Amino acid sequence: MNDTSQSFVKFEKIDKSYDGEVLVVKNLNLDIAKGEFVTMLGPSGSGKTTTLMMLAGFETPTNGEIFLDTKPISKIPPYEREIGMVFQNYALFPHMTVAENLSFPLEVRKISKPDIKEKVQKALDMVELGNFGTRFPAQLSGGQQQRVALARALVFEPRLVLMDEPLGALDKNLREQMQYEIKHIHDRIGITVVYVTHDQSEALTMSNRIAVFNDGVVQQLSTPDILYEKPENSFVAKFIGENNTLNGVIKEINGSSCIVDLDNNQGTIKALKINVNEVGEKTQLSIRPERVSINDGNNEENSFTGKIEELIYLGDHIRARLDVCGNNEFIVKVPNEGNFSHKEGDTLNLSWNSEDVRALDI
Partner 1 sequence: MEVTISTAELLTTDGIPLKQSLRKAERRNKLRAFLLVFPLLLFIFVTFVMPIGDMLLRSVDDSQINSVFPNTFDEYKNWDKGVDELPPEEVYKSLFFELANGDKRQIGKALTRMNYAKSGWKSLIKKTTREIKKIVKKGEEPVSYKDTFIKINKFWGDPTYWYSFNQMVNDRSSIYYWNALDRTFNEDGDVVLQDEKRRMYIKTWLRTFKVSVYVTIFCLILGFPVAHLLANLPLRYSNLLMIFVLLPFWTSLLVRTTAWIVMLQQNGVINGILVWLGVINDDGRIQMVYNEAGTLIAMTQILLPFMILPLYSVMRVIPKSHMRAAQNLGAKPATAFLRVYLPQTIPGISAGGLLVFVLAIGYFITPELVGGKDGKLIGSWIAYHLKTTLNWGLCAALGAILLGIMLIFYWLYNKIVGIDNIKLG
Name the site residues for partner 1 (rule: CB under 8 A). 56-58, 77-85, 87-89, 91, 93-95, 104-105, 108-109, 152, 156
Sign of CA dihedral 235, 238, 241, 245: positive
Q: How many Å apart are CA 288 and CA 330, to the nearest integer?
A: 10
- Residue 79 CB, nearest approach to partner 1 (Å): 5
Check if the beta carbon of residue 61 is closer than 8 Å to that of residue 14.
yes
- Residue 117 CB, nearest approach to partner 1 (Å): 17
- Residue 203 CB, nearest approach to partner 1 (Å): 22
C-beta closer to partner 1: residue 146 or 284: 146
Nearest alpha-carbon partner for 66 in 90, 193, 56? 56
- Residue 116 CB, nearest approach to partner 1 (Å): 13
- Residue 78 CB, nearest approach to partner 1 (Å): 5
Residue 132 has φ and ψ, to the nearest 5°, of -105, 10
C-beta closer to partner 1: residue 3 or 21: 21
- Residue 86 CB, nearest approach to partner 1 (Å): 9
Residue 28 has φ and ψ, to the nearest 5°, of -85, 125
C-beta closer to partner 1: residue 71 or 95: 95
**C-alpha separations of 308 from 245, 321, 334 in Å:** 17, 6, 12
Which residues on neighbouring strands pair with residue 148, listed in sequence order? Answer: none
C-beta closer to partner 1: residue 81 or 230: 81
- Residue 68 CB, nearest approach to partner 1 (Å): 14
**Exposed (0-12), middle (13-18) or buried (19+): which is 268, by Cβ within 10 Å?**
middle
C-beta closer to partner 1: residue 80 or 344: 80
Nearest alpha-carbon partner for 271 in 350, 357, 353, 352? 357
Q: Where is 124: in which H helix or E strand?
A: helix 113-126
Which residues on neighbouring strands pair with residue 310, listed in sequence order? Answer: 321
Nearest alpha-carbon partner for 14 in 71, 69, 52, 45? 52
Q: Where is 104: in which H helix or E strand?
A: helix 98-107
C-beta closer to partner 1: residue 61 or 105: 105
C-beta closer to partner 1: residue 151 or 320: 151
